[in-house]
Amino acid sequence: VGRPFDQLPGHWRNSWLNLYHFWKEDGFHNVHNIMVKKFQQFGPIYREKLGTYESVNIIDPEDAALLFKAEGVYPERFMVPPWTAYRDFRNKAYGVLLKSGESWRHDRLVINREALSLKMTDHFVPLLNEVGEDFVRRVHTQIQRSGQGKWTADLSNELFRFALESVCNVLYGTRLGLLQDVIDPESQQFIDAVTLMFNTTSPMLYLPPSLLRRINSKIWLDHVKAWDIIFKHADKCIQNIYRDLRLKRRSDQEYTGILSSLLLQNKLPLEDTKASVTEMMAGGVDTTSMTLQWAMYELARAPGLQEQLRSEILAARSSSQGDVLKMLKSVPLLKAAIKETLRLHPVAVTLQRYVAQDIILQNYCIPAKTLVQVGLYAMGRDPRFFTKPEQFNPHRWLQADSTYFRGLGFGFGPRQCLGRRIAELEMQLFLIHMLESFKIETRRGVDINTTFKLILVPDKPIHLTLGPL
């Protein structure tokens, strides 16, 4: 049953030569396009070895389903080598992002209750809603300043500030004031450090961590510098909350954010709490901001759809009479628009799992411990799985035809994105407020492509125009 592993198609026999070819075609920034090409060349499954990075790649949602059903109770994804190398180098604890086995599961279950459970996530809505409202206020100010009745800009840094403000309000129950004109330079440094950390990760993906640390290359030194800033700033935020709690400056009555809850419960060692909270703070910046930027870009190019969403939101607003929680239950098209954005513009180029047992995919035997990757970007653009994939059409998620294992933007199962609920609420509330307040436009005829900087991002600045309705 099943053809042998050794007969899988693909370039896996000469890993260092493959890496050389990969480097020559600027693979470091084109992982997503190269994968699309390889699926065309080899079919729905191929094996690959680049440097030390060995994987089997699949694209079919049915195969993704088989993979996730075989992931076991301790699912593990590809361990990004420079990330673990940094922690080991500085002797810092792993958080849920990098842990494995029982230790991962224990921490993850404790944090899930605070970050993913429906009971707790209701607390996030007012915290994220006020940040969304402040962003709208900031846009109004910028429109006035422009003197042109509208504001045209590359919103990247504005959105980074919005995203960091949002995730920190949920983590720490505190506003950092990042939607004002002048902001704390340390917060801007944090934002820049997260970008630098991602950018310096991709060139080191295919090398062993031990080598990375020995070679003192500029890229490794920059990577260390970036993580150092991330940890220093997060530590400061965490210490503030810790001190307030000990001095009983924070009441244990009202909700004061994920970190307070974790500290009061005292179910994790402080170092582990700090590691996971730092990962969430860093993970909350580029992910939601870039997705929102793509969403606005797509909506700017589809004015009819934008109008439909606006009517859905207005109807939801009036029928819920100011109850935001209730309102979020009656905006299916908006939620579909976010899914659709992640189909064409996923943050993660692949999802990966080390298979726990031997499994059969596309009639090949895949032995236990093999790293299998789901080509998320390639899947989202393949006409076999999405009719007219080039069209931005949120309605496809609401129609009867199958969405089986197709909406995987946040991953799947117990190892899926820990920030998923935060991200979804943050993005829904942002788009609600923006669509209620402004018309979103962009220059026609400017096509924006995707580039890989560990996460997938636009290859050039996106200029959006926000104006009155």
| Phi, psi dihedrals of residue 105, rounded to the nearest 5° | -60, -40
97 sits near ligand 2DC (criterion: CB under 6 A): yes
203 sits near ligand 2DC (criterion: CB under 6 A): no
Q: How far apart are CA 181 and CA 334, in angstroms?
A: 30
256 sits near ligand 2DC (criterion: CB under 6 A): no
From the CB of residue 86, how many other CB atoms can be counted at a distance below 10 Å?
Answer: 25
Q: Which is nearer to ligand 2DC, 328 or 347 (CB)?
A: 347
The least distance separating ligand 2DC from the CB of residue 373, rounded to whole angstroms, comes to 7
Site string for ligand 2DC, 344-363 (x = CB under 6 A): ---xxxx-x-----------
Binding window for ligand 2DC (CB under 6 A); candidates: 38-46, 73-81, 241-249, 330-338 = 73-81
Q: Which is nearer to ligand 2DC, 291 or 442 (CB)?
A: 291
Binding residues for ligand 2DC restricted to 281-310, rule: CB under 6 A: 282-283, 287
SS3 of residue 361 by DSSP: strand
- CB burial string 282-301: b at 16+ within 10 A, e below: bbbbbbbbbbbbbbbbbbbb
Q: Are 285 and 164 in contact (CB under 8 A)?
A: yes
Start-to-end CA distance of the chain, whole Å, equals: 62
What the block records as the tokens of 33 is 């396009």
205 sits near ligand 2DC (criterion: CB under 6 A): yes
Query: What distances in angstroms separate CA 391 from CA 189, 283, 298, 345, one per listed residue?
Result: 37, 29, 10, 12
From 267, 269, 263, 268, select the one nearest 248 (Cα to Cα): 263
- Which among ligand 2DC, ligand HEM, none contacts residue 455 (Cβ within 5 to 8 A by kind)? ligand 2DC
The least distance separating ligand 2DC from the CB of residue 55, rounded to whole angstroms, comes to 8
82 sits near ligand 2DC (criterion: CB under 6 A): no
Site string for ligand 2DC, 411-430 (x = CB under 6 A): ------x-------------
Q: Which is nearer to ligand 2DC, 263 or 282 (CB)?
A: 282
Give CA torsion, residues 360, 361, 366, 370, to 10 deg.
Answer: -130
Q: Which is nearer to ligand 2DC, 121 or 350 (CB)?
A: 350
Which residue has its beta carbon closest to ligand 2DC?
283
Q: How far apart are CA 371 and CA 350, in angstroms?
A: 12
138 sits near ligand 2DC (criterion: CB under 6 A): no
351 sits near ligand HEM (criterion: CB under 6 A): yes
273 sits near ligand 2DC (criterion: CB under 6 A): no
Q: Are 384 and 58 in contact (CB under 8 A)?
A: no
The residue count for binding ligand HEM (CB under 6 A) is 27
403 sits near ligand HEM (criterion: CB under 6 A): no
Q: Are 46 and 39 in contact (CB under 8 A)?
A: yes
Q: Report the DSSP beta bridge partners of residue 450.
A: 458
DSSP 8-state code for residue 461: P
The least distance separating ligand 2DC from the CB of residue 286, rounded to whole angstroms, comes to 7
- Which among ligand 2DC, ligand HEM, none contacts residue 168 (Cβ within 5 to 8 A by kind)? none
Q: How far apart are CA 242 and CA 262, in angstroms?
A: 11
Binding residues for ligand HEM restricted to 449-468, rule: CB under 6 A: none
Q: Which is nearer to ligand HEM, 173 or 419 (CB)?
A: 419
Site string for ligand 2DC, 150-189 (x = CB under 6 A): ----------------------------------------
Which position among 279, 298, 312, 340 is part of the footprint of ligand HEM (CB under 6 A)?
279
From 356, 417, 34, select the one nearest 206 (Cα to Cα): 34
| Phi, psi dihedrals of residue 421, rounded to the nearest 5° | -65, -45
Q: How far apart are CA 454 and CA 204, in angstroms?
A: 10
Please classify residue 189 by burial: count the beta carbons closer than 10 Å to its beta carbon, then call 0-12 exposed, 13-18 middle and 19+ buried. Answer: middle
Q: How far apart are CA 395 and CA 407, in angstroms?
A: 13
Please give the residue ranges that form the binding site for ligand HEM (CB under 6 A).
77, 96-97, 108, 167, 279-280, 283-284, 287-288, 291, 342, 347-348, 351, 409-412, 415-419, 422-423
* Contacting residues toward ligand 2DC, per CB under 6 A: 77-78, 80, 97, 205, 279, 282-283, 287, 347-350, 352, 417, 454-455
